């Protein structure tokens, strides 16, 4: 890294001055001071051209999840049981017939930590089950 | 023996009026189904119809007898608007269909109908799903009928709608239609809860209008053999005559989102890190069938759709999408390329390609020619330039033999660039080169520069490309921090670009 990352980290360790909101006139009450301690050192320049990263660094904005679809087939009378797996904003990830022990592979933006499922059948007497699955 | 003669012969054997049978051709009707509803006058022929004879009661009776006691219609579904609807598959659901006959003041309504497909759908304002009959179709299906005199010849009419005329359907014994003084077909589509996404968004009726024709018996087989739009439609329940269904679709990243892949094309030299030399949005759907004996899903078909979003490069490129598998695959690919903001294909498309070994498809050729602004090498990457729509593409892959889903690599697969002036390939980090004549064939699978940064990155579709020469890390000042130390507090870094450093070309614009 050239080499703002390390320099800035060292600066934090010795509590040297400089810009930033925490160094300006405090607006929080004295009796309840708020001290922001970054858990990770921050680079001075955020430009890629000013920095280096390890060759092993990954740049994934998506995560892969392998999961087993819940086996709800026993709860339905209908011969054709369907499942929709979808995000909280309604985008379908998997849509079709549900079979026992069916594996599911999802590839989702990193911030998505759960999905929803609807299970339903072609039998009008059957209910529609909606659940949330935490990934 | 041609089909017209054969039907005349059959009619003669059945003691029916042979002249009526021999002259019966499918006829496109004047009225259509608009915004989910149609009251179609069966006596009014469309102005573009090839028929020179009006439809009257005798004609309807002849159609009735020809079809063994029912009246059959075919619909040109025209709904490529919402959900996963596109040119190659579109659908609506039918809430009701009635035939209303007037026999000199006596009205008889027949209300039983069938379609070849159905789906499970929630009505507007509801979430619980029930089964509804559906109509499916495709733009450009180009139906070939036995007779060129048929109004269906060379058209996109695709979805059968059969109306029963028995006592149960009509409440009474329906007399001969020869004496009917007026006849209407009333059709109402299901108003689905599109907010739920697919399948409801797919089977909505937001577009249209749908043309409708009364179909002759000889045209039924080609319509049902074509099964236009069936294979790629979501949640299809086959009712009859339908074989091209899949059990499920798995969408990556979803049915309504795209991967946005962006490239630095100066490889192997360091680029300027603006990651806009080529920006493409794409998504992939895997059509699955369940293997009962293995108790696993197999992939039988693949669809991919995408758009050119931006091109900030002097170089031109070809763009490929490879979907790696552990098992050799064979099949055919249909490649579609659409003129901007239309359903019309570019000249020489669609193109067919045979797959033998692996799914490795050149999707875009000569990107500089495909997306250009006069006087500038840059498109959608510089300020003060009007936004430009890019080409849309779609791929349909039909595998000769289903392959276990577990044999497919994980998404986002291998979207790669062949930079024509340098002859270098640029892949996501970790993928092997593919073009035997490329300058780096077999030489690299890391695709990272001396500072450890890749030449290709995948983003969610709400990411905006930086302006020309703007370092990605300057456009998004949390990107580097997230890369070095990812945490839940900064994983949506791409939603916070710096003002004036990115082109805010939204999905709503480029996903036309």
Residues of chain B with C-beta less than 8 angstroms from the C-beta of A47: 273, 471, 473-474, 480
| Residue B281 in this model has a pLDDT that exceeds 50 | yes
Report the residue of B121, B196, B197 to disrupt the A interface, i.e. the one with the largest count of A CBs within 10 Å.
B197
Which among A32, A59, A86 is the end of a domain? A59
Contact A122 B131 (CB under 8 A): yes
Res A121: pLDDT = 94
CA of B310, closest CA in chain A: separation in Å?
A: 20
* 8 Å CB contact of A128 and B473: no
> Residue B227's CB: how many other CB atoms inside 10 A?
24
Question: Is A99's CB within 8 Å of B295's CB?
Answer: yes
pLDDT at B503 over 60: yes
Of B473, B481, B488, the CB nearest to A48: B473
What CATH number corresponds to the domain at position A127? 2.60.40
First-to-last CA distance in chain A? 35
Q: Are residue A68 and residue A37 in the same domain, yes or no?
A: no
Half-sphere exposure of A86 (CA within 13 A, CB side): 20
Which of B98, B101, B108, B105 has its CA nearest to residue B180? B101
Side-chain-side CA neighbours of residue B16 (13 Å): 21
**Residues of chain A with C-beta less than 8 angstroms from the C-beta of B254:** 86-87, 91-93
Element (H, E) at A13: helix A4-13
Nearest to B232 by CA among B13, B447, B80: B80
> B480 and A51 in contact by Cβ < 8 A?
yes
Question: pLDDT tens across B356-403, in order?
Answer: 999 999 999 999 999 999 989 999 999 989 999 999 999 999 999 999
Nearest-by-CA chain B residue for A102: B296
Contact call for residues A100 and B295 (beta carbons, < 8 A): yes
Check pLDDT > 60 for residue B49. Answer: yes
Among B129, B248, B483, beta carbon nearest to A96: B248
Beta-carbon neighbour count of residue B478 at 10 Å? 19
Instruction: Give rounded-to-5 percent helix, strand, coil for chain A.
Output: 15, 30, 55
**How many structural domains compose chain A?**
2
CA distance B467 to B478: 17
In this predicted model, what pLDDT tens digit does every residue of B134-156 receive, in sequence order?
999 988 778 899 999 999 999 99
Distance from CA of A45 to the nearest CA of B (A): 8
Q: How many helices (H) and strands (E) does chain B have?
A: 9, 25
Strands B317-323, B359-364: pairing is antiparallel
Domain final residue pick, A42, A59, A76: A59
- How many other C-beta atoms lie within 10 A of the C-beta of residue B466? 28
Min Cα separation B476/chain A (Å): 8
Per DSSP, which regions of B339-436 are E strands?
A: 351-357, 359-364, 378-379, 392-404, 414-419, 424-426
Q: Which of A13, A28, A59 marks a domain boundary?
A: A59
pLDDT for residue A19: 27
Same domain assignment for residues A75 and A113: yes
**pLDDT tens figures, B283-314:** 999 999 999 999 899 999 999 999 999 999 99
The β-bridge partners of B40 are: B185
Least confident of A69-83, B190-204, B259-273: A69-83
Segments of chain A assigned E as strands: 62-68, 81-86, 92-97, 103-109, 114-121, 129-134
- Quote the pLDDT of residue B82: 60
Q: Are residues A118 and A88 in the same domain?
A: yes
Helices (H), B372-492: 472-475, 479-484
Q: How far is B120 from chain A (nearest CA, A)?
A: 7
Predicted confidence at residue A103, as pLDDT, reads: 85
Residue B83 confidence class, pLDDT cut points 50, 70, 90 = low
User: Closest residue of A to B126, CA-based?
Assistant: A128
Same domain, A41 and A81: no
Give the chain B residue whose CA is nearest to the CA of A127.
B128
**Helix (H, G, I), strand (E, B), or coil: what is residue A38?**
coil
- The verdict on a CB contact (< 8 Å) between A92 and B198 is yes
Count CB pairs under 8 A between chains A and B. 176
Q: In order along chain A (135 residues), what is the average pLDDT of each group of 10 residues?
A: 33 28 32 44 81 95 90 85 94 92 91 95 92 92
Q: Residue A72: its pLDDT value, please?
A: 79
Neighbour-count burial of B325, counting CB atoms closer than 10 A to its CB (0-12 exposed, 13-18 middle, 19+ buried): middle
Residues A52 and A73 in one domain: no
Rounded to a whole number of angstroms, the distance from the CA of A111 to the nearest CA of chain B is 6
Q: What is the DSSP string of B250-272?
A: EEESBTTB-EEEEE--STTS---
Residues in chain A with CB shorter than 8 Å from the CB of B473 are: 45-51
Same domain, A33 and A91: no
Q: What is the DSSP string of B52-71?
A: -S---HHHHHHHHHHTTSEE
Chain A CB contacts of B272 below 8 Å: 49
Give yes or no: residues A71 and A89 share one domain: yes
User: Which range (B421-425, B486-490, B500-504) has the least confidence?
Assistant: B486-490
CA distance B365 to chain A (A): 27
- The span from the CA of B260 to the CA of B310, in Å, is 11
By C-alpha distance, the chain A residue nearest B448 is: A55
- Domain residues for the domain of A9 are 1-59
Beta-ladder partners of B483? none
Closest CA to B103 of B176, B185, B20, B186: B176
What φ, ψ does residue B489 adopt, rounded to 5°? -75, -20
Contact B247, B287 (CB under 8 A): no
Answer yes or no: do A38 and A71 share one domain: no
Q: Are residues A69 and A81 in the same domain?
A: yes
Considering the domain architecture, whether residues A80 and A104 belong to the same structural domain is answered as yes
Q: Do B473 and A46 touch (CB under 8 A)?
A: yes
CA B112 to chain centre: 30
Average model confidence (pLDDT) across chain B: 92
CB contact under 8 Å between B199 and A64, yes or no, is no
B446 to chain A: closest CA residue: A55
Sequence-ordered list of residues with C-beta below 8 angstroms from that of B83, at least 6 positions apart, any chain = B194, B197, B198, B199, B200, B201, B202, B203, B204, B234, B255, B256
Cα B202 from Cα B233, distance rounded (Å) = 8
The nearest alpha carbon in chain B to A42 belongs to B481
Interface of A with B in 67-126 (CB under 8 A): 80, 82-84, 86-87, 90-97, 99-105, 107-111, 118, 120, 122, 124
Distance CA B93, CA B286 (A): 24
Query: Best residue in B300, B452, B501 to probe A by mutation, most A CBs within 10 Å?
Result: B452
CA distance A31 to chain B (A): 28
Shared domain check, A80 and A53: no
State how beta strands B378-379 and B296-312 pair.
antiparallel
- Do residues A111 and A128 share a domain? yes
**Lowest-confidence pick of A60-69, B21-30, B62-71:** B21-30
Interface test with B, best of A40, A59, A82, A131 (most B CBs within 10 A): A59
Q: How far is B485 from chain A (nearest CA, A)?
A: 7
């Amino acid at each position: 890294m050239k080499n703002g990352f390390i320099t800035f980290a060292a600066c934090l360790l010795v509590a040297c001055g400089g810009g930033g909101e925490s160094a300006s006139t405090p607006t929080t009450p004295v009796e309840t001071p708020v001290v922001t301690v970054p858990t990770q050192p921050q680079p001075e320049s955020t430009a890629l051209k000013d920095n280096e990263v390890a060759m092993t660094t990954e740049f994934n904005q998506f995560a892969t999840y392998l999961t087993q679809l819940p086996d709800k087939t026993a709860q339905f009378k209908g011969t054709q049981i369907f499942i929709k797996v979808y995000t909280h904003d309604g985008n379908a990830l998997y849509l079709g017939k549900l079979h026992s022990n069916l594996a599911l592979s999802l590839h989702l933006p990193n911030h998505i930590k759960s999905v929803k499922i609807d299970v339903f059948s072609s039998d009008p007497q059957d209910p529609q089950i909606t659940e949330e699955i935490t990934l | 023996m041609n089909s017209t003669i054969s039907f005349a012969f059959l009619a003669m054997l059945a003691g029916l009026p042979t002249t009526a049978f021999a002259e019966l051709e499918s006829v496109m009707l004047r009225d259509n189904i608009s915004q989910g509803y149609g009251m179609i006058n069966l006596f009014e022929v469309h102005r573009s119809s090839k028929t020179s004879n009006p439809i009257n009661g005798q004609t309807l009776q002849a159609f009735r007898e020809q079809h063994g006691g029912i009246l059959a219609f075919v619909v040109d579904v025209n709904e490529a608007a919402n959900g996963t609807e596109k040119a190659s598959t579109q659908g609506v659901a039918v809430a009701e269909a009635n035939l209303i006959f007037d026999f000199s003041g006596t009205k008889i309504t027949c209300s039983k109908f069938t379609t070849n497909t159905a789906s499970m759908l929630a009505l507007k304002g509801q979430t619980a799903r029930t089964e509804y009959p559906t109509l499916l179709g495709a733009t450009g299906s180009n139906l070939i009928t036995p007779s060129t005199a048929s109004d269906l010849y060379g058209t996109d009419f695709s979805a059968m709608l059969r109306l029963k005329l028995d006592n149960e359907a009509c409440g009474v014994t329906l007399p001969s239609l020869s004496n009917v003084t007026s006849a209407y077909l009333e059709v109402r589509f299901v108003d689905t809860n599109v907010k739920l996404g697919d399948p409801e968004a797919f089977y909505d009726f937001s577009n249209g209008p749908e043309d409708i024709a009364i179909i002759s018996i000889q045209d039924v087989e080609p319509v049902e053999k074509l099964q236009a739009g069936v294979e790629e439609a979501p949640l299809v329940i086959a009712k009859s005559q339908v074989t091209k269904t899949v059990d499920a679709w798995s969408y990556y990243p979803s049915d309504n989102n795209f991967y946005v892949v962006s490239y630095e094309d100066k490889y192997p030299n360091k680029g300027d890190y603006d990651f806009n030399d080529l920006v493409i949005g794409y998504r992939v759907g895997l059509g699955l069938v369940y293997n009962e004996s293995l108790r696993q899903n197999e992939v039988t078909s693949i669809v991919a759709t995408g758009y050119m979003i931006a091109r900030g490069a002097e170089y031109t490129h070809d763009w490929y999408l490879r979907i790696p598998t552990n098992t050799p695959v064979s099949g055919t690919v249909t490649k579609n390329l659409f003129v901007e903001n239309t359903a019309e294909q570019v000249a020489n498309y669609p193109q067919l390609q045979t797959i033998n070994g692996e799914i490795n498809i050149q999707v875009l050729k000569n990107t500089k020619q495909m997306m250009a602004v006069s006087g500038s090498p840059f498109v959608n990457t510089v300020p003060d330039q009007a936004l430009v729509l890019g080409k849309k593409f779609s791929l349909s892959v039909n595998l000769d033999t289903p392959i276990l889903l577990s044999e497919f690599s994980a998404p986002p697969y291998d979207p790669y660039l062949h930079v024509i002036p340098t002859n270098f390939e640029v892949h996501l980090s970790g993928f092997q080169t593919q073009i035997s004549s490329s300058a780096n064939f077999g030489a690299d699978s890391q695709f990272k520069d001396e500072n450890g940064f890749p030449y290709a990155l995948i983003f969610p579709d709400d990411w905006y490309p930086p302006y020309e020469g703007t370092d990605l890390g300057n456009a998004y000042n949390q990107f580097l921090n997230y890369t070095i130390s990812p945490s839940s507090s900064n994983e949506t870094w791409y939603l916070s670009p710096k003002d004036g450093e990115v082109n805010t070309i939204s999905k709503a614009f480029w996903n036309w």
